[in-house]
Amino acid sequence: MTYPWGTILGYFLASCFLLILIYVHIKIKAERNIFFQQLEHSENYKNQLTSSLDALSDPMWIKGKDQTYIYCNPAFEQFIGLSKLEIIGYKDEEIQSQHAQLSQNIIPTITSNEETGTTEEYVCLPCGNVDYFQVSTERIYDISNKLFSSVGHAQKITLFIERESELVDAEIRVNEALKLTKVGIWEWDVSKDIWFATPSYFTMLGYAPVEGMADRKAELEKIHPEDRQHVMDSINNILTSKSESNYYKYQARIRHIDGNYRWIGVRCIVTEFDQEDKPARMLGVRIDIDEIQKAHDQVEWLAHHDSLTKLPNRVALNKTFHQIIKPNTKIALLFIDLDHFKNVNDTLGHSIGDKLLLTVADRMRTLVNNIGYVARQGGDEFIILLPADNEECLIEKTCAIKEALSARYNIDQHQFFITPSIGVSLYPRNGEDFDTLYQRADAAMYHAKHTGRNRYAFFTEEMQAISTRALTLGNALHDALERQEFSLHYQPQISLITGKIIGAEALIRWHSLELGHVSPGEFIPLAEESGQILAIGEWVLRETARQLKQWLEEGITPVRIAVNLSYAQFQVNDLPAIVAAILNEYAVPAQYLELELTERIATKDPEHTITILESFQQLGIHTSIDDFGTGYSSLSYLQRFPVYKLKIDQSFVRNMTTNTNDQVIVGTIILLAQQLGMTTIAEGVETKAQLEMLYNIGCDDIQGYYISRPIPAEEFKIGFLQKKQRFLVAQD
């Protein structure tokens, strides 16, 4: 059967349309499956994202483009105290109106920001505390760059804020403390040449603090021109690695804002090095040491000068002598003592006596002029060095000095005469060293005094007869220990603060069976010259330990006993072992023993002194420096000596109530001791006026006849150790 072509074409088109419908259906179904897979994947991603946000401990929220909440995590619910049902679908103002009591402190403070950015906010909690938050907001846009939503995140930073506040407060306190202690700290980034300093760095010299980076070069310009090169050399040696150390220090004068210069101590250490092992960062500190330096300079000046007349002292003259002696040089040493000077002090007072000494010193300066040197030995004793190439000229000059000093004195309302006794020794005839010449001129002076005063005498061998007494004493001294002729007396030491006894000084006494009582000032020098001082010194230590043990066995709590060490004793290397053995032998705690050494002994060999004193310190024995102010002390060594006390020499205490210079000296020594962390004790206190002045200027302890003379052990025990009351009140 044959179909018309039209029919065939119709079937063909119908078949094609059917196939197209089938294809479209299959494609739509496939795309629908992909859509549902993507929708499921998106839902999973949303769930994962939501779970992640829900797990965060910080509050998170998402708002729609109309600022309606579309999401918040549990932390946000807890944060504002509402559930999701009370949050989602609402705006801030709606939530605030419905739950004012719960949300008023948080909404809108934390959640109201609509712009992208980070802010710090705080809220007052119902409990009264304040919490700080860092709030971050991010605006989200769709593909057409229209606002789609905004995401918020609040991180609690209360602890950080509080810590920051604490650090700021601590920095303020540190800066205030640094100002009080006159200490400044600085840091230098060498590679970038950035330099910072604490406010106290500037304020200690009167300048305003510099915030942020300061001008290091401007600070260097404030250094005194004489000190600047030394400072620059110290810094450059570190920067150029010429120094083996990564540390440097120096002292220099720095200009104060008032135009004056003050002494400043600087210490610096390198804290970082660069790849070439050169300093990259340095940390330093500077300290105002002006008062200490001035005190040191004054003490050093006092070591070489007489405070009243401003003349050099014997120590300085000794140095001068060794500087001027040359081969074939002839020098005369004149020892001058004013006759009956004590009468002036006793009748007219120490003030007139001091003015007399000043006038005498002026007359000597005029007489000696440029041909010689004049010094004050102490008291009313002076020393002069003169050229002696021509003995007739020397005699003429000596007579001129005697006549000038014998001329009338007009002081205040008083007119009087005073005469000198002069002893002369010649170099090199009578001695080749200063001490020998001094001793022989002293002997000649005593000869002049004993033969009538107001005269001069040249040393002669006949004057050696006066050594007979010394020889007799030396022989008797040799057997004194064996004969048990020595005893110890104790002079109490009293605290000016409590008025109670805090110690005593053990003082040796000699009663010879042949010669009777002999002064320590007479036999101690002989013992030192003969070498017997070692045995005598050990006896003093043993007797002190024995007495301490006896008091302890009697049930009496003793005080610390101070024992003087001689120069010869101090040179014995095993001295600490000897002392320790004595304390162990008598079972006496080391805390009850104090060892005193004079300033001159301590500074004769400072390194040896430090070694011995450190050994004593390890044993628990206290050490102190006696007769302070009469010798030469270098502050650099003094501050290294492990001693706890400075004893102010009685020569300064004696006249301090009438002599301003002595008062200044005592005050300076007390200030120096305080700066070095030491205590002070004044010896030779004989009047209440002296006691009160010492109390007012900060002295810690005293001893002297005002409290008690040195007394035997039994009398000391009854009169002081067994009494518990205060022995004095400084304010009375």
**CA angle, 407 as apex, 405 and 412 as ends, to 5°?**
100
Query: Which are the contacts of 513, defined by CB distance < 8 A and separation ≥ 6?
Result: 483, 485
Band of residue 240 on the pLDDT scale cut at 50, 70, 90:
confident
Query: Which are the contacts of 292, defined by CB distance < 8 A and separation ≥ 6?
Result: 263, 635, 672, 675
| pLDDT at residue 588 tops 70 | yes
* pLDDT reported for residue 173: 64
Structure tokens at 716: 């000391």
Could you give the CA distance from residue 456 to residue 459 in angstroms, rounded to a whole number? Answer: 10
* pLDDT reported for residue 376: 93
Band of residue 3 on the pLDDT scale cut at 50, 70, 90:
low
| Candidate from 136-140, 195-199, 369-373, 659-663 with smallest mean pLDDT | 195-199
Helices (H), 282-406: 290-304, 314-324, 341-348, 350-368, 391-406
Buried b (16+ CB within 10 A) or exposed e, 220-255: eebbbeebeeebeebbeebeeeeeeeeebebebbbb
pTM of the predicted structure, to 2 decimals = 0.44
Could you give the CA distance from residue 629 to residue 646 in angstroms, rounded to a whole number? Answer: 9
Residue 331's CB: how many other CB atoms inside 10 A? 22
Band of residue 40 on the pLDDT scale cut at 50, 70, 90:
low
Nearest alpha carbon to residue 682 among 658, 718, 707, 713: 707
| pLDDT at residue 39 tops 60 | no
Could you give the CA distance from residue 505 to residue 516 in angstroms, rounded to a whole number? Answer: 23
- Identify the residue with better confidence: 4 or 271: 271
Element (H, E) at 236: helix 225-239
- Identify the residue with better confidence: 117 or 588: 588
| pLDDT single digits (tens) 248-264 | 788 888 899 998 998 88
Query: Which are the contacts of 714, defined by CB distance < 8 A and separation ≥ 6?
Result: none
Band of residue 77 on the pLDDT scale cut at 50, 70, 90:
confident
* pLDDT reported for residue 395: 92
| pLDDT at residue 202 tops 60 | yes
| pLDDT at residue 178 tops 60 | no
- The whole-number average pLDDT for the span 335-364 is 90
| Candidate from 41-45, 335-339, 441-445, 556-560 with smallest mean pLDDT | 41-45
Band of residue 155 on the pLDDT scale cut at 50, 70, 90:
confident
- Identify the residue with better confidence: 4 or 393: 393
| pLDDT at residue 635 tops 70 | no
| pLDDT at residue 91 tops 90 | no
How far from 506 is each of 5, 110, 434, 544, CA to CA, in Å? Answer: 153, 81, 33, 7
| Candidate from 132-136, 276-280, 312-316 with smallest mean pLDDT | 276-280
- Integer distance in angstroms from the first to the last C-alpha of the chain? 157
| pLDDT single digits (tens) 475-522 | 888 889 999 999 999 999 999 999 999 999 999 999 999 889 999 988
| Candidate from 138-142, 338-342, 476-480, 558-562 with smallest mean pLDDT | 138-142
Buried b (16+ CB within 10 A) or exposed e, 460-473: eeebeeeeeeeeeb
Could you give the CA distance from residue 293 to residue 26 in angstroms, rounded to a whole number? Answer: 103
Share of the chain above pLDDT 70, in %: 86
| pLDDT at residue 585 tops 60 | yes
Q: Are strands 456-458 and 486-495 parallel, antiparallel or unpaired?
A: unpaired
* pLDDT reported for residue 169: 61
Look-up: residue for tokens 């859509």? 35
- The whole-number average pLDDT for the span 417-442 is 92
DSSP-assigned letter for residue 223: B
- The whole-number average pLDDT for the span 554-573 is 89
- The whole-number average pLDDT for the span 542-568 is 93
Kindly report the average pLDDT of the chain as a whole number. 84
Helices (H), 5-126: 5-55, 74-80, 92-98, 100-103
- Identify the residue with better confidence: 488 or 732: 488
How far from 44 is each of 38, 49, 51, 52, 537, CA to CA, in Å? Answer: 10, 8, 10, 12, 99
**CA angle, 362 as apex, 361 and 366 as ends, to 5°?**
115
